Amino acid sequence: MRDKRKRSGRLRSGIIVIVAILVVIGVSFVYVKSVEEKVEEETGQYLEEVGIQSAALIRQKFDDDIENLKAAAVVIGATDLALSDDQIMEALRQIDEALDFRDVAVVGADGVAYEIKDNAVYTFDVSDKEHFRYAMVGVPVISNPTVPKDNSEESIVMAVPIYREDTIIGVVMGRYYLTDLIELLDVNTFDGKGYSYMARRNGEVFVTSNNENADKTLKNLNTDFEDSYFENPFALQTMQVNMLEGKSGSVSYVWNGTRRIMRYLPVGINDWYLLSVVPNEVVESRAAGLVMQAAVFCCVLFGVFTVLSLYVLGIQRRKNEELRKTHQELETNEQRYEIVMAQSKDIIFEWDIKTGHIYHSDTFRQKFGFEAPTEGFPEMIIETRGVPESDEAVFMQTYSKIADGEPYSEGEFRVYDSCHYPLWCRSRVSLIVDENGAPSKGIGILMDIDEEMREKEKIMEAAEKDFLTQTFNKGAAESRIQLWMKENADSQKAGLLMIDVDDFKQVNDTFGHISGDRVLREVTKKISGIFRESDVVGRIGGDEFVVLMKNIQDTEAVTRKAQEIIRIFESCRVGVQKKYCISGSIGIALFPENGTTYKELLGKADQALYYAKAHGKNQFVYFKEG
């Protein structure tokens, strides 16, 4: 009986041990499975964040190139030259060398494009192209991939309108080959195993990453996936519908024997989509260590579980080890942004909207010379005078939009560096919401555009200058004079001098246009030298100039300047022997006595000029009523 009870007790103990072991094994596998799912979830989140940043970089590249073409269009539109003129072609060549495009062309309103290659001008017709038609109605456009008429490589074209006196007279176009865009996809993710495609909403793939894992034969998502296996039979159809509706999402599939995860999201340009792919082996390799540990854990349990106390100690030790590994994994995931940060010279940041905490990449300290702020963002930047007062509204609006729930925001403002020098920056921020749909985080890029903005200022300044004399051109002179008159109508006086070179046609006919141009440059240089920097000196015709003397006390100052101009003309001589003398006539109108608008005052000065020429020339005359 006792033996039977012993046997029964041993049997119960054996059953308990076996059940305990099976429970432990089951719990271990459930734990490992949950870890794998967690790793896969975090990998998907990281894949989405990388996609958002990559799409932002692509938008930045195209936005910058559109802005460069707009600046070029402003320079061309500010001239009075025909689009096919040699000076325009020379400017086009310089633009082509300065920008990243394969080709840059200028197109007339008739659709005839002029492109300079190897110091030769080529023409071709683009009147039937959609991007040309859009640009001619004032819409800057980025085309979808097309094959040029010369059957060269498939291309993407950017086109912006050229304005001249508020009228569109043509278009500036820049062209990329699709192979030029591959580098936008070559972002090293997941230790080089991740890769990307760019596709249109209809599934047509037009750019493929150079990564060796990428399927170079993938040309259309709707047809080329037929040899792939989808765990969800409706996954492909769901992706197609989402892309047609402009939505983002993920799809899991098996291609070439390997399970892959694809994240698709709109780029924000035309109907383009960015497809980011990672092989499932990335998830599996990260979880493999935990699986092996669980297997070792089970084997150890089988060996030591004969003694209950050892079993308890072993399972506790193993649990502690697993918890430590889990904490290490979580700490690793918190550094996931470092991979993206290392790929860009721009400053990447993550802003916790609810707490005001913000984390910047190390590039911030390198760029501005001090440690990035971490708390109270963005209000603390304003309180510490981190941006110029004139830029505070734009700065706050950029981040307030994200805090209010807008999915994307962008702004350009200046930020003081450690030497209190204001650097121009462009901030682009995307919103991440929490599980309740409330704003949670802002992920963004802070880009240094200081050199770009300074260069634009130079281009705009050049666009206002007359090519020959480097004084203000007709349009710039008029706008500056009109603005000053509007702002000072009730407080200041001014004199408007209209200057004309007497018999200048005879100079050109006798000595040639080169000598005539030299005379104009010499005269305007001397005339500009006698006026203040605040005065406006402009060329409004071939040999006609206008000067606005601001803030005068009386007409005596104007008279003295007019006399100096007459002496300048008398001292300027033409010809090989410098024996031919020139002269000039001046008509003067006073502000506000003779008029309060530029058009009115210029008309009065022109009447006085006409009188001076009709009564002997080489003199100045004030306008008088009647």
Q: What is the pLDDT of residues 294-327, one digit of tens each?
A: 556 556 655 655 566 557 556 777 776 776 775 5
Residue 379 burial (10 A CB sphere; 0-12, 13-18, 19+): exposed
Cα dihedral 119→120→126→132 (10° resolution)? 30
Which pair of structure tokens corresponds to residue 295? 């297997």
Q: What value does the mean pLDDT of the chain take?
A: 83
- Residue listed under structure tokens 């802005």: 67
pLDDT at 151: 62
Question: Which of 217-231, 246-260, 371-385, 553-567 bottoms out in mean pLDDT, i.e. has the lowest?
Answer: 217-231
Residue 263 · residue 44 · CB < 8 Å: yes
Say what the pLDDT of residue 565 is.
Answer: 93
Structure tokens at 420: 């209190």
Mean pLDDT of 120-137: 90
- Distance separating alpha carbons of residues 58 and 184, to the nearest angstrom: 7
Local confidence band at 220 (pLDDT 50, 70, 90 cut-offs): confident
Residue type at 465 in one-letter notation: K
The residues pairing with 491 across neighbouring beta strands, listed in sequence order, are none
pLDDT at position 339 over 70 = no
109 CB-side CA count, 13 A: 9
Is the pLDDT assigned to residue 19 strictly greater than 70?
no
**Contact in structure between 392 and 382 (CB atoms under 8 Å):** yes
Alpha-carbon separation of residue 477 from 471, 524, 598, 608 (angstroms): 9, 14, 10, 20
Minimal CA–CA distance to 559: which of 583, 525, 595, 588?
A: 588
622 φ/ψ angles, rounded to the nearest 5 degrees:
-85, 145
Given a cut of 60, is residue 461 above it in pLDDT? yes
Residues in the chain: 626
Lowest model confidence (mean pLDDT) among 215-219, 361-365, 388-392, 498-502 = 215-219
Comparison of pLDDT for 106 and 570, the residue scoring more: 106
- More reliable by pLDDT, 562 or 176: 562
Long-range CB contacts for residues 399-404, cutoff 8 Å, separation at least 24 = 399/351, 399/427, 399/429, 399/442, 402/351, 402/353, 402/429, 402/431, 402/439, 402/442, 403/353, 403/439, 403/442, 404/439
Residue 517 reports pLDDT greater than 90:
no
Q: What is the pLDDT of residue 344?
A: 60
State the Cα–Cα distance between residues 106 and 122, nearest whole angstrom. Answer: 11
Q: Is the pLDDT of residue 201 over 50?
A: yes
Q: Is residue 9 over pLDDT 70?
A: no
Sort strands 584-591 and 620-622 into parallel, antiparallel or unpaired. Answer: parallel
- What integer is the mean pLDDT of 521-549? 90
pLDDT at 337 over 50: no
Distance (Å, whole) CA 402 – CA 404:
5
Domains of the chain: 2-39+305-334 (no CATH), 41-304 (3.30.450.20), 344-451 (3.30.450.20), 464-622 (3.30.70.270)
Residue predicted with more confidence, 313 or 491: 491
What does the radius of gyration of the chain's CA atoms come to, in whole angstroms?
A: 36
Residue 11's pLDDT is 63
47-51, 531-535, 590-594: least confidently modelled range: 47-51
Give the highest mean pLDDT range of 21-25, 502-506, 600-604: 600-604
Our CA angle for 494, 500, 504, nearest 5°, is: 165
Rounded to 5 degrees, φ, ψ at 615 are -120, 40
- Which string of DSSP letters, residue by residue, matches 345-396? SSEEEEEETTT--EEE-THHHHHHSSPPP-SSTTHHHHHTT-S-GGGHHHHH
Q: Which two tokens stand for residue 59?
A: 């938008």
Question: Which residues, in sequence order, are CB contacts of 280 under 8 Å at separation 6+?
Answer: 252, 258, 259, 260, 261
CA 345 – CA 352 distance, rounded (Å): 23
Strand ranges for 210-323 from DSSP E: 229-230, 249-255, 258-266, 272-279
> Using H for helix, E for strand and C for coil, what is the string for 420-439?
CCEEEEEEEEEEEECCCCCE
pLDDT tens-place string over residues 371-398: 888 999 999 999 999 999 989 999 999 9
H-helix or E-strand spanning residue 603: helix 598-614
Cα 511 from Cα 517, distance rounded (Å): 10
Check whether 576 has a pLDDT greater than 90: no
Tokens of 80: 């009075």
Q: Are 379 and 372 in contact (CB under 8 A)?
A: no
Average pLDDT over residues 441-454: 89
Q: Which two tokens stand for residue 504?
A: 């200048």
Residue 270, pLDDT score: 87
Q: Which two tokens stand for residue 499?
A: 């200057």
Of 357 and 23, which is predicted with more confidence? 357
Contacts 24+ apart (CB under 8 A), 220-225: 221/275, 225/253, 225/255
Q: Which residues contact 31 (CB under 8 A, 6 or more apart)?
A: 294, 322
**pLDDT for the residue numbered 372:** 85
pLDDT at 497: 95
Q: 398: which 2 tokens?
A: 């950029």
The residue to which tokens 């209950």 are assigned: 308
Tell me the average pLDDT across 431-445: 92
550 pLDDT higher than 90: yes
Contact 556, 507 (CB under 8 A): no
DSSP 3-state of 133 = helix
Q: What is the largest CA-CA distance in the chain?
A: 149
Q: What is the pLDDT of residue 24?
A: 59
Phi-psi bin for 271: left (phi > 0), alpha (psi -120 to 50), beta?
Answer: alpha
Please list the alpha-helical segments (H only) found in 78-183.
86-98, 130-136
**Region 53-68: what's the mean pLDDT?**
87
**Among 467, 344, 459, CA closest to 99:** 459
Confidence of residue 114 (pLDDT cuts 50, 70, 90): very high
User: Hey, what are 84's tokens?
Assistant: 């096919």
Look at residues 411, 414, 387 and name the one whose alpha carbon lies nearest to residue 397: 411
Tokens standing for residue 282? 């990335």
How many whole angstroms separate alpha carbon 458 and alpha carbon 480?
17
